[in-house]
Structure 1
């Protein structure tokens, strides 16, 4: 959806455009997802390590998926 929105925005001339994305804060990290406290503050070193570990696992799952899945 975002790629389509970017392409459409490129075609608009003579006026500003905006793309509003409804996102999930902390998506992909179990202890950060939907937790407002993580919006606007940096994670601690321990939190960062845990988040990176979870994201690395998620990346492995994504790499195994078939294209266009």
Structure 2
């Protein structure tokens, strides 16, 4: 999505100053490595998993017995 598309779709949902701030922050982050923390491990006491790993581990919770 281009910045103009974001502005158009954000119209009426947030002040233009907020949209400008988000676009500036996202623009500044392009090409930069993601900010990574140890928060999940610190809070849960276990290593984080990908969504795919979580979904596979919990697949039975999303199925029904016929």
Of Structure 1 and Structure 2, which has the larger fraction of its residues in helix?
2
Q: Which structure would you say has the larger RCO, counting Cα contacts within 8 Å and 6 or more residues apart?
A: 1
Shared fold per TM-score greater than 0.5: no
Larger Rg: 2
Could you say which TM-score interval applies, normalised by the shorter chain? under 0.3
